Chain A
């Protein structure tokens, strides 16, 4: 069990290493799009957390 878990963790590390750097050309448009996407997702996650908290209350 521990060995399987270690192998899985190693696999994840390999994947992270393999895709460490983005291979798409990071033009201004790409950087800008990714930034907007981050803000958008943060906004959505915040809304979900807010809804979750209000549900708990």
Chain B
């Protein structure tokens, strides 16, 4: 409602006279006025985009979470620049999947959990909701693992990191405005770009990057280990919580059908940025740590510090920021989903008194997952592996529901999937389902693809 008001007022006050029908006498215009008109038009388009921007950018950049940074750092250390081309292929894949959530949210004004309950009944609804709760909670634990290990490099104890993060995230969400939350989240998104200057500081060879990274090939031939890395990169680019988060975010922000083109652009820009960051991480580790066995991003940061202290520091700060951004989005995805189904007030535009259960579930998820990291001897490696397996049970279901809901003419009307959309979306979903399933199975049975 608020967004709609801002947008309508903005359009009313900024409509250029020349844009009205019947006023297209541009031929007689001089070059400078025409240029001025073009610049003003583009400036206004950017201003309008900045009003609508958010869900796509935040979800896609938050996708580079602590687990994602570890995957990219390991990929760079193992294969150098050789898999950059593969990451670039993930831009359209991530875009096509997330774009569908924009349309579904803007048209139906329902989150993904509620859409599944309504569309497919209570059985599939409960399956998705409980699975989402488990996956999100486990993923949150991995975000805390990333954040605590990143800050421990600077001598900050885990308990201080967990306490600080919970307080910070509490402050961010309890301001009672979606807009403020989103802009703070976008600030953290900007910090995610810290890997880009890092890549320029390691003196990577541009010709090597272009030669090795942009020509599709499989370094060392197609084998089980390479396949595992390819699957891990796909698994970290498309995560189940992203579908639930972006759709709920679109609804909470109040995007409408007419905002869909901007929502698409937002998602495309986010997809490109998330892969760009991944590529720069690969350039950093591929240049400095090529051939070194990397188990985690914090280990990569420590190794990098030995050769270039500043780049290692950037890697550690980036890892903390990635975990924080992931935690901000994942905890909200669960709270929004539960709010939708249980009928609780569940908007960031409502304060803690108006939406007590929404904030209670948010903090419960956050605090319990943070506490797990502080338990001495907690099976953190097992949890990290278990996330990938449980996510495999939710992702295919959520993607299939997404495609089916987008084909529901009754609810989607003119925004229903076209045959072309179904072909592209169907092929992408099929590829993701097969590869993520194989990835999950390879985690369960590590020797299967050796």
Contacts and interface: CB of A to CB of B under 8 A. Distances in A.
Chain A bound to chain B: yes
Interface of A: 11, 15-16, 19-25, 29-30, 33-34, 37, 40-41, 44-45, 47-48, 51
B405 interface: yes
B255 interface: no
Contacts of B120: 22, 24, 34
- Please report whether the interface of chain A is mostly helix, strand, loop or mixed according to DSSP: helix
Contacts of B409: 25
B393 A45 contact: yes
The bracket for how many chain B residues form the interface is 20 to 34
Contact of B119 (A24, A48, A51): A24
B187 interface: no
18 contacts: A11-B342, A15-B122, A16-B122, A19-B122, A20-B121, A22-B119, A24-B405, A24-B410, A25-B408, A25-B409, A30-B404, A33-B404, A34-B124, A37-B396, A41-B397, A44-B393, A44-B440, A45-B393
A41 B400 CA distance: 12
B36 interface: no
Given A24-B408, A33-B404, A19 B121 contact: yes
Given A15-B125, A44-B393, A48-B444, 7 more contacts: A15-B122, A20-B122, A22-B120, A23-B119, A24-B119, A25-B410, A37-B396
Nearest to A30: B404
B118 A51 contact: no
Nearest to A44: B393
A41 B128 CA distance: 12
A46 to B, nearest CB: 11
A11 B400 CA distance: 28
A41 B122 contact: no
A5 B145 CA distance: 34
Contacts of A23: 118-119
Nearest to B409: A25
Interface string B411-450: 1000000000000000000000100010011001100000
A30 to B, nearest CB: 6
A40 B389 contact: no
Given A22-B120, A44-B393, A33 B400 contact: yes
Given A25-B410, A33-B400, A44 B437 contact: yes
B117 interface: yes
A27 B396 CA distance: 20
B97 to A, nearest CB: 17
Contacts of A16: 122
A22 to B, nearest CB: 4
A48 B389 contact: yes
A20 B124 CA distance: 11
Contacts of B407: 29
B393 A19 contact: no
B441 to A, nearest CB: 7
B392 interface: yes
B341 interface: yes
A47 B397 CA distance: 17
A28 B404 CA distance: 12
A25 B59 CA distance: 30
A38 to B, nearest CB: 10
Nearest to A14: B343
A37 to B, nearest CB: 6
B112 to A, nearest CB: 14
Shortest Cβ-Cβ A-B pairs, 4 listed: A24-B119, A22-B121, A19-B117, A19-B122
Nearest to A23: B118
Contacts of A25: 408-410
A51 B444 contact: yes
A47 B405 CA distance: 29
Contacts of A37: 396-397, 400
B445 A51 contact: yes
A24 B404 contact: yes
Nearest to A8: B342
A41 B437 CA distance: 10
Interface string B116-156: 01111110110000000000000000000000000000000
B117 A41 contact: no
B392 A44 contact: yes
A10 B440 CA distance: 36
